[in-house]
Amino acid sequence: MNTNSSVKQNIKQETSNEHKNKAKMPHKHNEDSEEHNHWADQIALDIKERVEKDKKLKAVVDKVGYYLIYDEKTPSGSIHVGSGRGWIIHDAIAKAMRSLGLNAKFVLSSDDIDPYDKPNKELDSSWDKYLGMPFRNIPSPVKGYDNFGDYYFMQCVEKFEELGIKAEITSTGGDYENGTFNKAIKLVLDNYPKVQDVYRQLYGDDVAAAKKIPFNVICEKCGRIATTMATEWDPETELLTYECRDDVVKWAKGCGHHGKISPYNGNGKFPWKVEWPAKWFSKGVICEYAGKDHFTKGGSRTFGVELANKLFDYTPPYPSTRQFTGNGYEFFNIGGKKMSTSKGQGIAFVDITNILPAHMVRYLLIKSRPNSVIDFDPSQDNNIIFLYDRFDKTERIYFGAEEADEKEKKMQTRIYELSHVGELPKQMPVQISLKFAAIVNQTVMDNDEKALDTLRMLGHLPKELSGAELHSVLQRLHDARQWINNFASDEYKFKLNETILPEELKLDHKVKKALDIVVKKLHQKSWTDKELHDEFYNICKSLEIEPKEFFKGAYKLLIGKERGPLLAKFILTVGLDRFKALVEQL
């Protein structure tokens, strides 16, 4: 039988079956639902309905005592921020389920018994001697952590409180050791021909996994797990015969040891495709998303659904069913590139709050449906400016400071609630736009006290601020400073002139006169930025000069550029004294 044609036929058949079975699917998340629910709330309702209709799932929830929302990650190196999308999705679903009065728990597991399968870009070649060993059995690169896997995984977990993620942390290797998977191990090894049949069904007769006993022992001599091959399973003694060989994988060499060992209590693990459904069955998982690459036709989720049905008799977790693989969440892209730990692309999860504050990270991920691609590039000005502007609008709608129809009000309210970290504020925080905060920062040379004085003088702040209000304003000033210093284009950067050389500016005498008139006008009364902007045009008209020439001259005087921030607001921010001092040098 030709392997490629077999694979194509199997995937074609699966696609056909999915179309046939769509009518049998339970209520599915509907983006245009009449209730206009946020996606997390709709998923929570879908899961609740599914469990109520499925006696077996109901029995699982009753036995475990809660709805288990599950996720996992292999700690092979610095974990990129793309993984954070799944963690925040699962956190939001668990919170939405608790809002329905359901006992829901988000559990995140470190797949620390997986093998070290490629050199880590952050470590030198001396670490190559550990290739093929479980991460949990390799020393930590940094003191203070139990092992290699613990170091990379806990770096992320240590950010969870800051990001408002509530999760119970566990270890897949620990679950093997404490016997959580023993029942599944016995079931798989007693029936491993059924597992091989699923491999053949999906990938063809020649696939290597269809000829192997699906369990990887940790070699008793060299400690590697990637180089062992199980050769015989004795269901009476419940011992696996295995060999530690050189030809199992290309990237690690076995030691040649032969032995027999019990597969239970941490002596080995399933291959990944088998382990996934074994986890669902062993732990009672009710919901587990993953990236869309896992949900491709014939991919690991398809395999998991098949094995869950044919061996474990377990209903796969949402968004899969017994008949339907479902869809994973879309990628979290940086500048159009999928983030990858192994390729060193993208931002590490632990560094994300150096780019955006925690509530803004949550907002970015919560406002977008799981099936929407997020392509966020902090070096693109509009990406950050629009994100902050949209958040501010959501906040105004939440507090009733901006009108919205009933559908929009409901949606934005829920986005704000699920995005917020900590206790929700009782009144709307003072809002300073990111762009204006950047102007103020640069005008006062990043002095927070002067920035606050300037904002008060311009009427953007009350004289007295509560602690929460002050924190909110300082946070926005900090965010603007981070943006300007690290990501903003030159268009948004400037340095206010202290002195000028008139001969270098080469300003027309009418432009100089116009600027002198502006100084006199500023002496006469307190201006709003709109009033002052309109007055610029009156002055230009009276002097018969083109407004664009006036604006260009004013910017050259202030910052040595021909363009800059909105001029009226900028001059008011600079203040009469500093503006007058520059004009007098002309």
146-192: per-residue pLDDT in tens?
A: 999 999 999 999 999 999 999 999 999 999 999 999 999 999 999 99
The answer to whether the CB of 229 falls within 8 A of the CB of 212 is yes
Measure the CA–CA gap between 103 and 92, rounded to whole angstroms: 14
565 within a domain of the structure (yes/no)? yes
Indicate whether 379 pLDDT > 90.
Answer: no
Q: Of 446, 471, 492, which residue sits at a domain end?
A: 492
Reply yes or no: is the peptide bond before residue 141 cis, omega within 30 of 0. no
255 within a domain of the structure (yes/no)? yes
Question: Which stretch of DSSP H or E encloses residue 70?
Answer: strand 67-73
Q: What percent of the chain has pLDDT over 90?
A: 84
Structural domains in the chain (count): 3
361-381 average pLDDT score: 92
Length of the chain: 586
The crossing angle, in degrees rounded to 10, of helices 192-203 and 3-21 is 90
The pLDDT tens digits of the residues spanning 95-128 come to 999 999 999 999 999 999 999 999 998 999 999 9
Residue 561 and residue 517 share a domain: yes
User: Residue 142: what residue type?
Assistant: V
Q: Of 248, 269, 290, which residue sits at a domain end?
A: 269
Measure the CA–CA gap between 14 and 20, rounded to whole angstroms: 10
Question: Other C-beta atoms within 10 Å of 57: how many?
Answer: 20
Token reading at 93: 């679903």
196 within a domain of the structure (yes/no)? no
**CATH number of the domain bearing residue 537:** 1.10.10.350
Report the chain's mean pLDDT, rounded to a whole number.
Answer: 91
pLDDT at residue 286, as a whole number: 98
Residue 464 and residue 525 share a domain: no
Q: Which DSSP state fits 429? A: P
414 within a domain of the structure (yes/no)? no
pLDDT at residue 335, as a whole number: 61
Residue 485 and residue 509 share a domain: no
The pLDDT tens digits of the residues spanning 345-370 come to 567 899 889 889 999 999 999 999 99
pLDDT at residue 437, as a whole number: 97
336 pLDDT band, cuts 50/70/90, is low
Indicate whether 34 pLDDT > 80.
Answer: no
Nearest to 507 by CA among 462, 445, 553: 553
Measure the CA–CA gap between 113 and 180, rounded to whole angstroms: 14
Quickly list H helices, 67-212. 82-99, 148-157, 160-163, 172-177, 182-190, 192-203
User: Residue 278: what residue type?
Assistant: A
The answer to whether the CB of 131 falls within 8 A of the CB of 119 is yes
Q: Partners of 107 in the beta sheet? A: 70, 168
Residue 508 and residue 564 share a domain: yes
Q: Partners of 71 in the beta sheet? A: 108
Q: Partners of 260 in the beta sheet? A: 241
The answer to whether the CB of 535 falls within 8 A of the CB of 554 is no
The pLDDT tens digits of the residues spanning 506-529 come to 999 999 999 999 999 999 999 999
Indicate whether 8 pLDDT > 50.
Answer: no
pLDDT at residue 332, as a whole number: 83
What is the span of the domain harbouring residue 255? 203-269
Token reading at 472: 């909110």
User: Residue 113: what residue type?
Assistant: I
487 within a domain of the structure (yes/no)? yes
398 within a domain of the structure (yes/no)? no
Residue 571 and residue 511 share a domain: yes
One-letter-per-residue 3-state SS of 4-41: HHHHHHHHHHHHHHHHHHHHHCCCCCCCCCCCCCCHHH
Q: Which DSSP state fits 132? A: T
Indicate whether 19 pLDDT > 70.
Answer: no
Instruction: Lowest mean pLDDT of 269-283, 390-404, 452-466, name the range.
Output: 452-466
pLDDT at residue 31, as a whole number: 43
Nearest to 342 by CA among 141, 152, 140: 152
CA dihedral 110, 111, 113, 116 (to 10 degrees): -110
471-486 average pLDDT score: 95
User: Cβ contacts of residue 231 below 8 Å, gap of 6+?
Assistant: 213, 241, 242, 243
340 pLDDT band, cuts 50/70/90, is very low
User: Cβ contacts of residue 148 below 8 Å, gap of 6+?
Assistant: 75, 116, 130, 135, 136, 138, 139, 140, 141
Indicate whether 342 pLDDT > 80.
Answer: no
Q: Partners of 170 in the beta sheet? A: 109
544-555 average pLDDT score: 96
Instruction: Lowest mean pLDDT of 24-38, 206-220, 409-423, name the range.
Output: 24-38
Compute φ and ψ for 261, nearest 5 degrees.
-155, 150
Residue 246 and residue 211 share a domain: yes
Measure the CA–CA gap between 508 and 504, rounded to whole angstroms: 12
The pLDDT tens digits of the residues spanning 44-65 come to 999 999 999 999 999 999 999 9
One-letter-per-residue 3-state SS of 284-318: CEEECCCEHHHHCCCCHHHHHHHHHHHHHCCCCCE
Residue 547 and residue 513 share a domain: yes
Residue 578 and residue 510 share a domain: yes
234 within a domain of the structure (yes/no)? yes
Instruction: Lowest mean pLDDT of 293-302, 348-357, 426-435, name the range.
Output: 348-357
pLDDT at residue 514, as a whole number: 97
pLDDT at residue 378, as a whole number: 86
The pLDDT tens digits of the residues spanning 486-503 come to 999 999 999 999 999 888
Residue 516 and residue 482 share a domain: no
The answer to whether the CB of 202 falls within 8 A of the CB of 298 is yes
Residue 486 and residue 550 share a domain: no
Indicate whether 548 pLDDT > 70.
Answer: yes
Measure the CA–CA gap between 259 and 356, rounded to whole angstroms: 53
The answer to whether the CB of 384 falls within 8 A of the CB of 434 is yes
Residue 529 and residue 482 share a domain: no
Q: Of 245, 269, 293, which residue sits at a domain end?
A: 269
520 within a domain of the structure (yes/no)? yes
User: Cβ contacts of residue 265 below 8 Å, gap of 6+?
Assistant: 176, 177, 178, 179, 182
User: Cβ contacts of residue 554 below 8 Å, gap of 6+?
Assistant: 511, 515, 518, 567, 571
368-397 average pLDDT score: 94
Backbone angle region of 513, left / alpha / beta, with phi > 0 → left and psi within -120 to 50 → alpha: alpha
Q: Partners of 375 in the beta sheet? A: 333
Instruction: Lowest mean pLDDT of 121-130, 331-340, 411-420, name the range.
Output: 331-340
Token reading at 479: 């965010």
pLDDT at residue 125, as a whole number: 95
Compute φ and ψ for 243, nearest 5 degrees.
-130, 145
pLDDT at residue 354, as a whole number: 86
The answer to whether the CB of 263 falls within 8 A of the CB of 189 is yes
The answer to whether the CB of 230 falls within 8 A of the CB of 188 is no
Residue 507 and residue 476 share a domain: no
The pLDDT tens digits of the residues spanning 215-231 come to 999 999 999 999 999 99
Nearest to 552 by CA among 519, 524, 510: 510
